[in-house]
Amino acid sequence: MADLSVEFCGVPFKNPVVIASLETTNSPDLMMQAFDYGASGAIIKTLTDIDDMAVLTMNSKYAIMNDRGDIIKGKVPRDFKFYSRSGYSSTYYKEWIPYLKELGEYARERDAHLIGSAGAKDIEGWKDICRTIEDCGLPMVELNFGCPHPALMPGVHGGSMIGQDPEVAFNVTQAVCEAVDIPVIIKLTPDQSKPVEIARAAQEAGAAAVTATNRYTGFAVDIDTAQPRLGGTAGIGGTWTKPLSLRYVHNIYKQVGIPIAGSNGVFDHRDIVEFIMTGADVVEVGSVLMIKGMKWLPNIIRGLDRFMDEHGYDDIKSMYGIASDAAATDYSDQFAKDRIHANVNAETCQNPTCNVCIQMCFYEALSQDPAGKINVHTDKCIGCELCLDVCPFDSISMAPTSDGQYEEGYFKIQHEIYEPAEVKFATNRNNNDTIEANSPKMAAE
């Protein structure tokens, strides 16, 4: 059994799985369930002094959509889109005080942590909510600079509006860091172009970590009624956002070096692994638990443990940041790589039943000969590896292009832009005329 423990902001966590701040943490009962099911931490739904943000939560609306944008009826698959509008905690922050103390104790008894979250009206409000969280004995607080909804709430300045402005983000972070002794985490918005700058501003202002990220703002249309879903813009997330969240984690990990809580795009343990390999210290799990219930949580934790055993990772540290560390820092490394070309294994290739690679090759480097065998036109194959990926029968491999082959006329990168570029880069993907002309047997079928 692998060691799942991690340290985040100087605090030990028994595993990296933390429940994100959302509807499941707007209720003491559900948070107790999260701790019972093995969460190492749960972040309370953002505590606030903004009445409208609390009332908005009592008017929450949700739509769960499939890859076509239709509402999912029944079991929710991995590629769901969660479109929703809600606000901050529906209960005024001072009313939470006795529950925060009790829940904090409940978490500690289970070797877990209740974590605070704040979203306030003004600097004094930010400080007061965070002091309240600290006074209740919570070990850290997340400042919600990522919520997409305040931007659409008249008279409210908060959430992503702060997270999009390095100066305001710095000022609020600094004021809170001066007001409390517990570690402060800044939850970033993905609705911006400068996450690294905001993360750096947060770090300079005294933040101990950042969360990358909250959700995007989206717009979805029901084409049958020609109406916007949920009446207009709303927050949007789901596993499809994961590569975008990971890009932020990667950039912050490499360029800022501040501890990171990964968020936005988790369905199961595989996503947790991806976040950790990209450089997240802990990973927040949010909407999937609203959809599947808290009972989904042990699957995630068990899955992580199993994955680590199967892949020989003894502890989380051995996975931490390894993919980010292996990533190229710029694209010029591509030029230093040896050239390769596609090889087709005629024994296992299923052509003519299958012709996926021919249809797919953007460079017309594959065709079918009259006997129904795949030809690789090595002068056109640029070694892009797309056919390797798509072949359902693993019948394609990539071979190094030797100097001799290169001289023979295997694909050469031209050095002059006007050299026979029209030949080299004539891409006719899905041009049926050419495919059929090159592959007569296919045309006949």
Binding site for ligand FMN (CB under 6 A): 20-23, 45-46, 82, 84, 86, 88, 117, 144, 147, 187, 214-215, 237, 263-266, 284-288
The two tokens of residue 142 are 């997340």
Which C-beta is closer to ligand FMN: that of 16 or that of 265?
A: 265
In the block, residue with structure tokens 């070096």: 257
What is the 8-class DSSP label of residue 215? P
| Minimum separation from the CB atom of position 323 to ligand SF4 (A) | 24
For 271, 278, 324, the CA distances from 327, given in Å and listed in that order, are: 18, 10, 5
Q: How far apart are CA 303 and CA 297, in angstroms?
A: 10
User: Least CB distance from residue 145 to ligand SF4, whole Å?
Assistant: 43
Binder of residue 173, out of ligand FMN, ligand SF4, none (CB less than 5 to 8 A by kind):
none
Mention every residue, 6+ apart, whose C-beta is less than 8 A from residue 370. Answer: 440, 441
Minimum Å distance from CB 286 to ligand FMN?
3
Smallest distance from ligand SF4 to CB 400, Å: 13
Q: Nearest approach, Cβ of 272 to ligand FMN (angstroms)?
A: 10
Closest CA to 87 of 129, 45, 28, 30: 45
Point out which residues pair with 82 in neighbouring strands: 64, 237
* Residue with smaller CB distance to ligand SF4, 215 or 341: 341
Q: How far is the CB of 296 from ligand FMN (least distance, A)?
A: 11
**Closer residue to ligand SF4 in complex, CB, 212/349:** 349
Which does residue 266 touch among ligand FMN, ligand SF4, none (CB within 5 to 8 A, set by kind)? Answer: ligand FMN
CA 427 to chain centre: 32
Neighbours of 128 (CB within 10 A): 18
Residue 363 interaction partner, one of ligand SF4, ligand FMN, none, beta carbon < 5-8 Å per kind: ligand SF4
Structure tokens at 73: 């009826």
Q: Closer CB to ligand SF4, residue 189 or residue 355?
A: 355
For residue 104, the partner it binds in ligand SF4, ligand FMN, none, with Cβ less than 5 to 8 A by kind, is none
Residue 350, binding choice from ligand FMN, ligand SF4, none, Cβ under 5 to 8 Å by partner class:
ligand SF4
CB closer to ligand FMN out of 130 and 288: 288
The interface partner of residue 132, options being ligand SF4, ligand FMN, none and the CB cut-off 5 to 8 Å by kind, is none
Minimum distance from CB of 431 to ligand SF4 (Å)?
14
CB of 69 to ligand FMN, least distance (A): 18
Which CB, 91 or 343, lies closer to ligand SF4? 343
Residue placing its CB nearer to ligand FMN in the complex, 301 or 387: 301
Alpha-carbon distance of 312 to 318, in angstroms, equals 9
In the bound state with ligand FMN, the residue whose beta carbon lies nearer, of 23 and 274, is 23
Closest CA to 13 of 145, 181, 243, 185: 185
Query: Residue 222: which of 74, 72, 60, 71 has the closest Cα?
Result: 71
Q: Which residue is associated with the tokens 């932020």?
A: 248
Which among ligand FMN, ligand SF4, none contacts residue 351 (Cβ within 5 to 8 A by kind)?
Answer: ligand SF4
What does the alpha-carbon distance between residue 40 and residue 17 come to, in Å, rounded to a whole number?
Answer: 6
* Residue 187: CB minimum distance to ligand FMN, A: 5
Identify what 286 binds: ligand SF4, ligand FMN, none; CB under 5 to 8 Å per kind.
ligand FMN
Q: Which residue has the tokens 């029901």?
A: 222
In 71-175, the DSSP E strands lie at 81-85, 113-119, 141-144
Q: Pick one of ligand SF4, ligand FMN, none as the site partner of residue 161 (Cβ within 5 to 8 A by kind).
A: none
Residue number with CB closer to ligand FMN (287 or 439): 287
> Which CB atom, from 206 or from 352, has the smaller least distance to ligand SF4?
352
Which residues lie near ligand SF4 (CB under 6 A)?
A: 342, 344, 349-351, 354-357, 361, 363, 365-366, 374, 376, 381-387, 391, 393, 395-396
Give the type of residue at 325. D
What gap in Å lies between CA 218 and CA 237, rounded to an integer? 9
Instruction: State the nearest-atom distance from the C-beta of 399 to ligand FMN, in Å.
Output: 41
Closest of 297, 234, 288, 298 to residue 264, by C-alpha: 288
Q: Which does 237 bind (CB under 5 to 8 A by kind): ligand SF4, ligand FMN, none?
A: ligand FMN
Closest CA to 28 of 90, 111, 118, 121: 90
Sign of the C-alpha dihedral computed for residues 432, 435, 437 and 441 taken in this order: negative
Q: Which of 13, 16, 5 shows the shortest CA–CA distance to 271?
A: 16
CB of 164 closer than 8 Å to CB of 207:
no
